Amino acid sequence: MKQKIILIGGGGHCKSCIDVIEQQGVYQIAGIVDLPGKLHQKILDYEIIATDDDLPDLVKEYENFLITLGQIKSPDKRIRLFKTLKESGAKLPVIISPLAYASKHAQIGDGTIIMHHALINAGAKIGSNCIINTKALIEHDAIIGDHCHIATGAIINGGTVISPRTFIGSNAMAKEYIEIGEQTVIGGG
């Protein structure tokens, strides 16, 4: 029997996460948490069952959670939700698309999702609560800090250090062995 998981955030990124979770086949989506005005609406056939205010009760009923709120300009809301869930004792599993490749020699932190066709090479270290989006490449020995979003098609070359709370835009490329400071936003391309 599949373990149940609650998704937090019902926007466009949630749809992509749903597809990864369905393809992975490990978890059964029990419902989505979003804004009060969206209660009982459906996202790809999954109901919005609660709001952020209901999280303490949901943690008593469910064990697994994934933050499916996107991150472009600021990771603050994702960080707040992550801390709330961790403090409540919730589990935030690593979700890896079966269409992605993550080396057994890589490390991936709690609550991180690896989307379709992403590639994580040997020696890479990815922090907690990260989004490694579709077709992103994380090369050998790269370090991605907590709460980062590496967007679609971005390339993080070997030995690069991406500090926490950073957004790397679609098709951006980080040269090997550089360090990108905390809470940086690098635009697409």
Three-state secondary structure of 20-41 = HHHHHCCEEEEEEECCHHHCCC
CATH number of the domain that 50 lies in? 3.40.50.20
Give the global pTM: 0.96
State whether 124 and 155 are in the same domain. Answer: yes
State whether 13 and 39 are in the same domain. Answer: yes
d(CA 150, CA 160): 13
**Mean pLDDT across the stretch 28-42?**
97
State whether 77 and 148 are in the same domain. Answer: no
Is residue 15 over pLDDT 90? yes
Residue ending a domain, among 55, 87, 119, is 87
Residues 6+ apart with CB under 8 A from 1: none
Domain extent, residue 149, equals 94-189
State whether 98 and 188 are in the same domain. Answer: yes
**Mean pLDDT across the stretch 121-144?**
98
Is residue 19 over pLDDT 90? yes
Residue ending a domain, among 54, 87, 120, is 87
Residue ending a domain, among 72, 87, 102, is 87
Number of domains forming the structure of the chain: 2
State whether 101 and 60 are in the same domain. Answer: no
Assess contact for 23 and 99: CB atoms under 8 A.
yes
State whether 79 and 128 are in the same domain. Answer: no
